[in-house]
Amino acid sequence: MSEHKLGLDYAIEQDQNDILKSYRNLFHIPKDAQENELIYMTGNSLGLQPKQTKNYINQELEDWANLGVEGHTEAKNPWLPYHEFLTKNMAEIVGAKPIEVVVMNTLTANLHFMMVSFYQPTKTRYKILIESDAFPSDKYAVESQLRHHGFDDKEGLILWKPREHEELLRYEDLEQILKTQGDEIALIMIGGVNYYTGQYFDLKRITQLGHQYGCKVGFDCAHGAGNVKLNLHDSGADFAVWCTYKYLNSGPGSLAGCFVHERHAHRKDLNRFTGWWSHNKQTRFNMRHEFDQLPGAEGWQLSNPPILSMAAIKASLDIFNQAGIENLIEKSKKLTSYFEFLLKQLGEDVIRIITPSNPQERGCQLSIQVKNADKNLHDKLTKAGVISDWREPDVIRCAPVPLYNSFEDVYRLVEKIRLSLALSKGEGTNRNENKPEH
């Protein structure tokens, strides 16, 4: 974009003016053998660890050691209502009301629990629509639901595909699918931000379109939560699920989040799997009561949650609350547009950005398509101290995360890409990558 400038001096100036610059110091940045910080650009796969996470977890370990079972009520952060400590901040991040959000289970487990309630096929309306390049676990999950209900998992799956020689999906094509097959589709389940291209979909538009044809609509927001303004309540979606270990920095395999729109909050007629944690809190431990369903998203819980995982989530959400999701989104757009600006200086004859250029249609991830790719460039970047993702067949995914990535990170990343491309072409270079360009 034209407002950006070349050169390291510009990147340093942007960092100096960044109101969120101090938040980088709250995270552990991985280092190489010489103790140099690596350029970490994979918050879209696993977010970095907040330095305060250890203290949050240690607090629960100490309370467990000192209190035993009494920690459920007497711990500094009592364990019985612990998930409630996360609700308000998580709802703020995903644009929902507290009654619509709960932290529970893991991502694909939550997706299945949601489909128990919102995928209710009939003989004539049973198909599931997903994007053709959905995250594999989403595809596996919906295929297994089709089989579980006695349908053919290939015939019952409808794929929203990009057009030939294109990577991004078009809403006109989705509209056409629904126009011709809408009365056969029971569920639309789309990844809110596509993991491969980084395309952020218009959740409200998709929901309204699906509901127009009588379909239930849900989203996997694993690559959206903490990255884009999801506005889940306003989208009108029936449900959404997301993990917390990517942009939400809660640690590998940590608990996931779940959204159920408030119009379903008091619906006891919805089919669901239940357990004692979805039962009335006042009588939960009186083991003689019949099941009394909790209202809202809490009513989809099954078991008491793992507190140590929730403590890690709390450590990160407290940082998000301090920084403010609006501030983070604003910085994210600046960082990503700067990244795009620098990449375009390299020339589209070598690499191409397949993520949408419109800031409203993407988060901080840019997917870089490498011409004649054989993973060689990615390997060179890794050796040069860059942590990024390779996705077959020809894409490197990089995500400058606003909480801990800097403009200087982005500048140095692109310089390393430039140098690696030159080496790939067999060109020698004596260029000092730290030298400012003007």
Q: What is the mean pLDDT of each run of 10 residues along the chain (438 residues)?
A: 85 97 98 95 97 98 98 97 97 98 97 98 98 95 98 97 96 98 98 96 98 98 97 98 98 97 96 91 84 94 96 98 97 97 89 94 94 82 94 91 98 94 60 40
- For residue 261, the tally of other CB atoms under 10 A from its CB is 22
Tens of pLDDT along 168-226? 999 999 999 999 999 999 999 999 999 999 999 999 999 999 999 999 999 999 999 99
pTM of the full structure: 0.93
The CA–CA distances, whole Å, from 412 to 45, 103, 311, 338, 363 equal: 21, 37, 34, 12, 21
- Reply yes or no: is the peptide bond before residue 393 cis, omega within 30 of 0: yes
- Are 367 and 200 in contact by the 8 Å Cβ rule? The answer is no
Q: Give how far the C-alpha of residue 323 lies from the chain's centroid of Cα atoms, to the nearest Å.
A: 18
CATH C-level class of 8-48+324-424: alpha beta
The residue behind tokens 């990009």 is 162
- Are 101 and 210 in contact by the 8 Å Cβ rule? The answer is no
pLDDT of residue 426: 60
Q: How do the domains of the chain map onto residue ranges?
A: 8-48+324-424, 83-304
What is the token pair recorded at 122?
Answer: 């009939």
Q: Find the angle CA(198)-CA(201)-CA(202) to the nearest 5 degrees.
A: 155
DSSP letter for each residue of 315-367: HHHHHHHHH-HHHHHHHHHHHHHHHHHHHHTT-TTTEEE-S-SSGGGB-S-EE
C-alpha neighbours within 13 Å on the C-beta side of residue 231: 14
- Are 404 and 372 in contact by the 8 Å Cβ rule? The answer is no
Paired strand residues for 104? 256
Taking every pair of Cα atoms in the chain, the longest distance, rounded to a whole number of angstroms, is 78
pLDDT of residue 142: 98
DSSP letter for each residue of 233-264: HHHT-SEEEEESSSTT---TT--EEEEE-GGG
pLDDT of residue 434: 43
DSSP letter for each residue of 111-136: HHHHHHHH----SSS-EEEEETT--H
Closest alpha carbon to 434 in 379, 418, 19, 377: 418
Query: Could you say which DSSP state residue 21 is in?
Result: G
**Count of residues for the chain?**
438
Single-letter amino acid, residue 218: G
Q: What sign does the CA torsion over 226, 228, 234, 239 have? A: negative
Closest alpha carbon to 30 in 48, 14, 12: 48
Closest alpha carbon to 152 in 132, 126, 177: 126
- Are 433 and 416 in contact by the 8 Å Cβ rule? The answer is yes
pLDDT of residue 430: 42
**402 CB contacts (<8 Å, ≥6 apart)?**
20, 328, 329, 331, 332, 335, 364
What is the token pair recorded at 368?
Answer: 């870089």
pLDDT of residue 438: 34
pLDDT of residue 425: 64
Distance CA 85, CA 310 (A): 9
CATH C-level class of 83-304: alpha beta
pLDDT of residue 2: 55
Single-letter amino acid, residue 49: Q
What is the token pair recorded at 412?
Answer: 């140095």
- Are 102 and 87 in contact by the 8 Å Cβ rule? The answer is yes
